[in-house]
Amino acid sequence: MCIFCKIINGEIPAKVVYEDEHVLAFLDINPRNKGHTLVVPKKHYERFDEMPDEELCNFIKGVKKTVEVLKKLGFDGYNIVNNNGRVAGQEVNHVHFHIIPRYEGDGEVVKFGEVKKIDLDEVLKEIKE
């Protein structure tokens, strides 16, 4: 059983921010910023695109609810990050969204890599073929 399933089952304690029938949201033990929270569906799926539409809707609603709860922290903005696959930085193979509250002047908390020179027409061609 994966570590998030163990948290959901109560085998491992977590600092729960929000919970409903479909999702559990808890503070990340390695926070990138104050209030960094992970939202997980209660049913185990490895990747975002593997979730059935209806469960995905319930999950996304739970993500939004969690943002609303976190508003108490008085953040100025937030990032929502979801990594799929090891190459993308997914460390636990159970779908999870990071909600990372952002505060004015909090520095480089979440960053994209450098811009690459990529032929967009070629990419589109490959997708549409």
Site residues (vs Zn ion, CB under 5 A) = 2, 4-5, 44, 94
| Closer Cβ to Zn ion, 36 or 94, answer by number | 94
| Closer Cβ to Zn ion, 5 or 81, answer by number | 5
| Closer Cβ to Zn ion, 1 or 57, answer by number | 1
In the complex, least distance from residue 66 CB atom to Zn ion, rounded to whole angstroms? 18
Distance CA 91, CA 73 (A): 27
- E strand segments, the chain: 16-19, 23-27, 37-41, 77-81, 97-102
Distance CA 98, CA 82 (A): 6
In the complex, least distance from residue 90 CB atom to Zn ion, rounded to whole angstroms? 12
Give the other-Cβ count within 10 Å of 49's Cβ: 9
Distance CA 60, CA 41 (A): 9
Catalytic residue among 22, 36, 44, 96: 96
Cα 87 versus chain centre, distance: 16
User: Is 96 marked active-site?
Assistant: yes
In the complex, least distance from residue 44 CB atom to Zn ion, rounded to whole angstroms? 4
Catalytic positions, written as ranges: 96
